[in-house]
Chain A
Amino acid sequence: MITMKKTTRNNIYTYAFVIVSFIIVQLLINSGNISSSLQGQLVPICAYVILAISLNLTVGILGELSLGHAGFMSVGAFAGVVACISLESIIPITLLRLIVSLIVGALFAGIAGFLIGIPVLRLKGDYLAIVTLAFGEIIKNIINILYVGKDKDGLHFSFLTDSSALNLAEGGRVIIDGPLGITGIPKLSTFTMGFALILITLFIVLNLIDSRSGRAIMALRDNRIAAESVGIHVTKYKLMAFVTSAALAGAAGTLFAMNYSTIIASKFGFNTSILILVFVVLGGLGNIRGSIIAATVLTILPEMLRQFNSYRMLLYAIVLIIIMLATNNDEFKARLRALRERLLPSNHRAGKGGAEDGQS
């Protein structure tokens, strides 16, 4: 009989959940039982799941509020796509090229995470949050003035001008066209790749949490002063969490971008960062499986609410507020329960307890 640690068992459930979900969806696709709009959402859902897990690493595990996560997604998206387009002739096998692009996206986002992390992680609480927001907007601005082109001589870069300043030779092509972003993206992302990337993300994040480094990161969250007093190097572990989170977001960004033919930087702004944060909070801080479920449900929800048409986003907002009130205010929760009992009376015995609880 193998005795398993509680966390290991919990993690296996998470993997199982993802794998089973993938199998079910694949069956639905193969049997044609899935709407085309939902099928188009599959890759974005995978991307949002990875974004939620990675943000949870920063917010739920490290305990620092980051409002600029979309910035890392953006860096990964643009870097990954540039790599993909540039390597078109060098790596003709699309799967390999996709993998290389994902790695490039993760790498650039990780570097961005490192450079941003060093000044940012010194700040406390709300100040840290606003600075991450600021960096997210700065990244958006910078990509908007970035011009990247490729020709037979390699890559050309230019800032603040226009695409002609790239001086591309004959047969060259503009990749990033300033505020116009990237057009003509090779749509290489697949649901299977998204699924694989989720598994890799889980492997990295779950294993990190359940290890010496993960403990150190969580110690910083629970009590920074105590962590220092037992010799834990604060900046090192904060950066570890932050950079890992950024790199994974970058990979998600690349996956996301290569599901569309066009991307522009303004799509990866503050609103996206907030969207992901909502997934993380609703799924539960530190609850990785919760992030997966929340990201999936909340991405599908606006689609499912389509019947309400123009009211659906309003409904989304109301549902969000109600969930927050219910999970944080006992009185509200009790009132909701009473309301539910009145609307849908169930066959519960009045007053559970007594003999049943007596055994504890």
Chain B
Amino acid sequence: MDKANTPEMQMATMPSVDLVSEREAAKKPVLETRNLGINFGGLMAVNGFNMTIDRTEIAGLIGPNGAGKTTCFNLLTKVYQPTDGTILLDGRDTSNMTTVQINKAGIARTFQNIRLFSNLSVEDNVKLGMHNHINYGMWNGILRLPAYWKGEKQAHDKAMELLSIFDMESLAGKRAGSLPYGAQRRLEIVRALATKPLLLLLDEPAAGMNPSETAELMENIVKIRDTFNIAIMLIEHDMNLVMGICEKITVLNFGKIIAKGTPSEIRNNPQVIEAYLGKKREG
């Protein structure tokens, strides 16, 4: 029997409006910066920063020390207010947003110098990442109404699920400040993921890691991207990691972009080499 042309089948095979707009949305970059810059009393710490990041892209931001990479992260998350340019997050202009609003809108980050809630447990750190996704207020908490119990159970389950990405469930009750360095870095990533971001900014996630830890981290970053379908931008000095997983790399020096491209393009770019190693001496 020819089922293909029954009205039902035709309905089923016709692309729904939602599917169409979803595909359209998938083409729109999750982040776009136009001429982004900040002026610190005459010094342009970041100048003319143009970049786009696609929906599920893993992007790298590299450059010598002091180039302005973390400053860019601070601009994107409004820790610093840009003096020039615009940032479009998921198409929305973020000019009037505060750090808190930016996170609610979809950007999460980790920090160069780890910023955990050191006196709280590992699990509580993750639950704080989920703060805006657990729905009960102060009075529900104080009076222990049903919404509290439901919210806490959901939070606990979800926190454990997130911790399992890095096999950290057994550390849930430990004080965050007591964890070894590598575990603290991983916890920061889990906490950032808990905020359900569209874009995850990782600031030197492999700092202080040995090669095998770094290799594991590389696998995990890709796994995170694939599981959560988010975009990731990372600042890194470890070239193996950057070249290994980044699809697009932006190179910064003295606050300006000096190169953009795929890993192989960047690897052979003479300006990039010069920025890192200095000018080649003649003779």
Are chains A and B touching in the complex at the 8 Å CB cutoff?
Answer: yes
Question: A residues touching B (Cβ–Cβ < 8 Å)?
Answer: 6, 203-204, 207-208, 211-216, 218-219, 221-223, 225-234, 240, 286
CB pair B108–A230 under 8 Å, yes or no, is yes
In the assembled complex, which residues on chain B have CB atoms less than 8 Å from the CB atom of A213? 137-138, 141
B233: min CB distance to chain A, Å: 15
Task: Report the Cα distance A233→B151, complex, angstroms.
Answer: 19
Indicate the member of A219, A222, A231, A232 with the most B CB atoms within 10 Å: A231
Mask for B120-142, Cβ within 8 A of A = 1, else 0? Answer: 10001001110110101110111
CA A231 to CA B204, docked complex, whole Å: 22
> A211 to B115, Cβ gap below 8 A?
no
A230 near B141 with CB under 8 A, answer no
| Known interface pairs A218-B119, A234-B100; A227-B128 also in contact (CB < 8 Å) | yes
How many pairs of A and B residues are in contact by the CB < 8 Å rule? 95
CB-CB contacts below 8 Å: B55-107 with A:
77, 79, 98-100, 103-104
A230 to B98: give the CA distance in the assembly, Å. Answer: 12
Q: Which B residues are in CB contact (< 8 Å) with A234?
A: 100
Q: What's the nearest-Cβ distance from chain B to residue A215, in Å?
A: 6
Specify which chain B residues have a CB less than 8 angstroms from the CB of A215 in the assembled complex: 120, 124, 127-128, 131
Given known pairs A211-B148, A230-B108, the reply for A6 and B173 (CB within 8 Å) is yes
B243: min CB distance to chain A, Å? 28
B256 contacts the other chain (CB 8 A): no
Query: In the complex, A134 Cα to B144 Cα: how many Å?
Result: 37
Known contacts A226-B111, A228-B100, A231-B132; A208/B141 CB under 8 A: yes
Say yes or no: is B195 at the interface (Cβ < 8 Å to chain A).
Answer: yes
Does B185 sit at the interface, judged by CB under 8 A?
no
Q: In the complex the two chains form, is A207's CB within 8 Å of B129's CB?
A: no
Please state if A212 and B134 are interface contacts (CB–CB under 8 Å): yes
Residues in A neighbouring B132, C-beta threshold 8 A: 231
Complexed CA–CA distance, A81 and B108 (Å):
51
- CB B173 to nearest CB in A, in angstroms, measures 7
B147 → chain A closest CB, angstroms: 10
User: Which 3 A-B pairs give the minimum distances between C-beta atoms?
Assistant: A211-B141, A231-B103, A226-B115
Q: Across the interface, do A230 and B128 meet the contact criterion of CB distance under 8 Å?
A: yes
In the bound complex, what is the Cα–Cα distance between A6 and B172 (angstroms)? Answer: 13
The distance in angstroms between the C-alpha atoms of A203 and B127, with both chains bound, is: 22
Contact B131 A211 (CB under 8 A): no
Contacts of B124 in A (CB 8 A): 215, 218
CA distance A207 to B143 in the complex (A): 8
Nearest CB of chain B from residue A221's CB, rounded to whole Å:
7
B39 within 8 A of A: no
Among candidates B79, B119, B129, B136, residue contacting A212 with C-beta atoms closer than 8 Å: B136
**A220 and chain B: residue at smallest CB distance:** B117
Given A6, A203, A230, which contacts B129 in the complex, CB threshold below 8 Å? A230
18 contacts between A and B (CB under 8 A): A207-B144, A211-B148, A212-B134, A215-B127, A216-B131, A218-B119, A219-B117, A222-B120, A226-B115, A227-B128, A228-B98, A229-B77, A229-B115, A230-B192, A231-B104, A231-B132, A232-B128, A232-B131
B118 lies within 8 A of chain A by Cβ:
yes
**Which single residue of chain A is at the shortest CB-CB distance from B99?**
A228
What is the distance, in angstroms, from B252's C-beta to the closest C-beta of chain A? 21
- Which of A204, A207, A221, A223 has the largest count of B CB atoms less than 10 A from its CB? A223
Beyond A230-B191, A233-B100, A286-B119, 12 additional contacts (C-beta under 8 Å) are: A203-B142, A207-B144, A211-B142, A211-B152, A222-B118, A222-B120, A223-B117, A225-B79, A225-B115, A229-B108, A230-B128, A231-B132
A219 adjacent to B120 (CB under 8 Å): yes
CA–CA, A240 and B137, complex, Å:
11
Is B44 close to A, CB under 8 A?
no
Q: Given the complex, which residues of A lie within 8 Å of B118, measured CB to CB?
A: 222-223
A54 to chain B, nearest CB (A): 14
Interface centre among A221, A229, A234 (most CB of B within 10 A): A229
Chain A residues whose CB sits within 8 angstroms of the CB of B195 once the complex forms? 230-231
Which A-chain residue is minimally distant from B191 (CB atoms)?
A230
**Closest Cβ–Cβ distance, residue A60 to chain B (whole Å):** 10
Chain A CB within 8 A of B186 CB: no
A45–chain B nearest beta-carbon distance, Å? 25
Given A213-B137, A226-B111, answer yes or no on A231-B131 (Cβ-Cβ < 8 Å).
yes
